[in-house]
């Protein structure tokens, strides 16, 4: 997943973040919380003033692509430079200059479709650790949900071979009032229930835990096993046949492209006639409608009631939320709501918005995973990281590179931390839902689910 990974001898990294919009702010908060030394370069003096009052970080007013500014920020001693300004070109230039004067790893946020088609080339030629595209990654996550519309969230591990699926237990379902231990006796599918939310509380369950209707649960399994399990318990598993997307920006383009490639019919509503012309050229198989989606009659006239999925992707959170609530009222469509601001997540959780996607968090998760891998020893490194239940739990996939205290011992003999589960072991492409007699070996990847935060390496699972 990551290129150019080097390991720092210090546990605390020196990180320079260039640009402090929503993603930069999320990274500043998360990475400083994990004990790293953060310097932020930002042009806006108001943003700098806010940062100084909120976080224990160094702030510098200036241009992140200027060598003098980078030198003032300490680029020559930096472990990691993260460029997340609003300009793709500025982000790439900032990383390129940083790499010229430092042995740091560098990460650039790049959104433009043309650049996204050249990610591998740009990353290798510029020597970057990662190029990340929030809109593209969000589109992939939304597409995964629409392939399995009863899911609230679908996360992939082991290069797509394993999945973690979030869904709500329906009233009257076979799982209602069943303990985790009895689940294995009554339902013969190779899955693991690894996280449960009930009335705002998050649990990493033991065998004695009793499931209830309305619980929100995460299951981990090999992809086909997850679908067999959901079908067995009476949960609909067929992908949607059509989808209506509101808004014609980058997110809409990337999502439509993903869906069209899998045979899903796509209708896009966009208010700008010139952008409609562009989208019609870029996505000839999509139905592009020049319409104002804030008009209820316009949505109904475009066929909302007949849609199996509805995804508002305007640039305004409030509009996306209202459109979702309207769609739920007048149709049976699977809804996905994109929300850019993450500081009202508690309020949003209380609303019935279907699947909620936070592009800023998706971006931050990938970068935080890289930063933790940079801090870890050589025995293991983080492949994938997802925050679960509004960041109250984490799912982390570790690659086991060398022998360590967890290797070669039966899992039942390991002194694991409380509130921590080993969800699966990926051994040469075979997904193992582990029992107490299984072992972790060098070369495996291992997925952990826990309410503990800040795990950097596999040995951190031990008490």
Structural domains in the chain, CATH included, are: 14-132 (3.40.50.720), 155-232 (3.30.70.1450), 242-357 (3.40.50.720), 374-461 (3.30.70.1450)
Q: Which long-range contacts (CB under 8 A, 24 or more apart) does 256-263 make?
A: 256/283, 256/286, 257/139, 257/283, 258/139, 258/140, 258/142, 258/143, 259/143, 259/146, 260/285, 260/286, 262/143, 262/147
Overall residue count recorded for the chain in this entry: 463
In eight-state DSSP terms, residue 239 is P
pLDDT per residue as tens digits for the range 121-161: 888 888 899 999 989 999 999 999 999 998 999 999 988 89
Q: What is the pLDDT of residue 2?
A: 40
> By three-state DSSP, how is residue 221 classified?
strand
pLDDT per residue as tens digits for the range 316-347: 999 999 999 999 999 999 999 999 876 666 67
Residues 423 and 395 sit within 8 Å (Cβ to Cβ): yes
Nearest by Cα to 397 from 194, 258, 184, 206: 194
Q: Which long-range contacts (CB under 8 A, 24 or more apart) does 266-270 make?
A: 266/242, 267/242, 267/243, 267/302, 267/303, 267/307, 268/244, 269/244, 269/245, 269/293, 269/298, 269/299, 269/302
What is the spatial distance between Cα 133 and Cα 344, in angstroms, rounded to a whole number? 23
Across the chain, what does the average pLDDT equal?
90
pLDDT per residue as tens digits for the range 206-238: 889 999 999 999 999 998 888 888 888 888 778
Phi, psi of 41 (to 5 degrees): -105, 125
Q: Please, which pLDDT band fits residue 6 given cuts at 50, 70 and 90? A: very low
Task: Please give the residue that has the higher pLDDT: either 257 or 376.
Answer: 257
Lowest mean pLDDT: which of 10-14, 59-63, 152-156, 159-163?
10-14
- Count of CB atoms within 10 A of residue 289's CB? 17
From residue 192, alpha-carbon distances to 98, 423, 431 in Å are 44, 7, 12
User: Quick one: what percent of the chain has pLDDT higher than 70?
Assistant: 96
Q: What is the pLDDT of residue 3?
A: 40
> By three-state DSSP, how is residue 433 classified?
coil
pLDDT per residue as tens digits for the range 430-460: 999 998 999 999 999 999 999 998 888 899 9
155 has which bridge partners?
A: 164
CB-count burial class (<10 Å; 0-12, 13-18, 19+) for 424? buried
Q: Note the helical H segments in 101-202.
A: 113-116, 119-126, 134-147, 180-186
Nearest by Cα to 296 from 330, 264, 272: 330
How many CA atoms within 13 Å lie on the side-chain side of 271?
A: 10
Q: What is the pLDDT of residue 95?
A: 95
- Count of CB atoms within 10 A of residue 154's CB? 22
> By three-state DSSP, how is residue 60 classified?
strand
User: Quick one: what percent of the chain has pLDDT higher than 90?
Assistant: 65
What is the spatial distance between Cα 355 and Cα 160, in angstroms, rounded to a whole number? 20
Place of tokens 């740091």: 104
CB-count burial class (<10 Å; 0-12, 13-18, 19+) for 331? buried
- Count of CB atoms within 10 A of residue 61's CB? 14
Q: What is the pLDDT of residue 390?
A: 82
H/E run at residue 397: strand 393-400
> By three-state DSSP, how is residue 322 classified?
helix
Q: Please, which pLDDT band fits residue 297 given cuts at 50, 70 and 90? A: confident
HEC secondary structure over 267-311: EEEECCHHHHHHHHHHCCCCEEEECCCCCHHHHHHCCHHHCCEEE
Compute the C-alpha angle 11/12/17, nearest 5°: 140
What Rg, from alpha-carbon coordinates, does the chain have?
23
Residues 183 and 232 sit within 8 Å (Cβ to Cβ): no
> By three-state DSSP, how is residue 251 classified?
helix
416 has which bridge partners?
A: 462
Q: Please, which pLDDT band fits residue 11 given cuts at 50, 70 and 90? A: low
Phi, psi of 335 (to 5 degrees): -110, 140
What is the spatial distance between Cα 242 and Cα 264, in angstroms, rounded to a whole number? 5
């Amino acid at each position: 997943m990551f290129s150019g990974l080097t390991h720092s001898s210090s546990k605390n990294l020196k990180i320079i973040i260039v640009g402090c919009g929503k993603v930069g702010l999320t990274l500043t908060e998360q990475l400083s919380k994990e004990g790293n030394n953060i310097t932020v370069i930002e042009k806006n003096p108001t943003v700098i003033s806010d940062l100084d009052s909120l976080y224990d970080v160094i702030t510098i007013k200036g241009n992140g692509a200027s060598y003098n500014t980078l030198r003032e920020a300490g680029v020559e001693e930096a472990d990691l430079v993260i460029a997340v300004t609003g300009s793709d070109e500025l982000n790439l230039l900032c990383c390129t200059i940083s790499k010229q004067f430092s042995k740091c790893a560098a990460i650039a946020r790049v959104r433009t479709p043309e650049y996204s088609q050249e990610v591998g080339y740009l990353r290798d030629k510029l020597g970057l650790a990662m190029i990340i595209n929030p809109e593209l990654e969000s589109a992939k996550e939304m597409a995964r949900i629409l392939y399995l519309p009863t899911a609230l969230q679908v996360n992939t591990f082991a290069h797509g071979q394993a999945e973690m699926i979030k869904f709500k237990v329906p009233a009257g379902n076979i799982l209602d009032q069943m303990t985790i231990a009895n689940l294995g006796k009554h339902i013969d599918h190779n899955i693991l229930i690894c996280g449960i939310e009930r009335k705002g509380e998050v649990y990493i369950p033991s065998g004695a835990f009793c499931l209830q209707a309305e619980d929100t649960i995460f299951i981990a399994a090999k992809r086909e096993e997850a679908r067999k399990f959901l079908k067995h318990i009476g949960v609909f598993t067929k992908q949607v046949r059509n989808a209506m997307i509101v808004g014609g920006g980058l997110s809409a383009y990337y999502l439509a492209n993903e869906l069209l490639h899998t045979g899903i019919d796509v209708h896009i509503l966009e208010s700008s006639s010139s952008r409609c012309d562009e989208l019609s050229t870029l996505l000839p198989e999509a139905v592009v409608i020049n319409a104002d989606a804030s008009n209820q009659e316009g949505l109904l006239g475009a066929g909302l009631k007949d849609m199996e999925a509805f995804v508002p992707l305007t640039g305004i959170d409030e509009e996306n939320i209202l459109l979702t609530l309207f769609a739920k009222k007048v149709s049976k469509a699977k809804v996905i709501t994109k929300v850019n601001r993450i500081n009202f997540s508690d309020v949003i959780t209380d609303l019935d918005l279907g699947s909620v996607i936070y592009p800023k968090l998706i971006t931050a998760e990938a970068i935080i995973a890289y930063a933790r891998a940079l801090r870890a020893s050589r025995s293991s490194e983080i492949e994938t990281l997802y925050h679960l239940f509004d960041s109250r739990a984490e799912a982390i996939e570790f690659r086991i590179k060398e022998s360590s205290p967890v290797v070669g011992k039966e899992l039942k003999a390991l002194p694991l931390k409380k509130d921590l589960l080993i969800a699966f072991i990926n051994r040469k492409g075979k997904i193992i839902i582990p029992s107490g007699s299984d072992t972790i070996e060098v070369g495996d990847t291992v997925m952990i689910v826990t309410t503990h935060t800040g795990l950097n390496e596999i040995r951190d699972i031990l008490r």
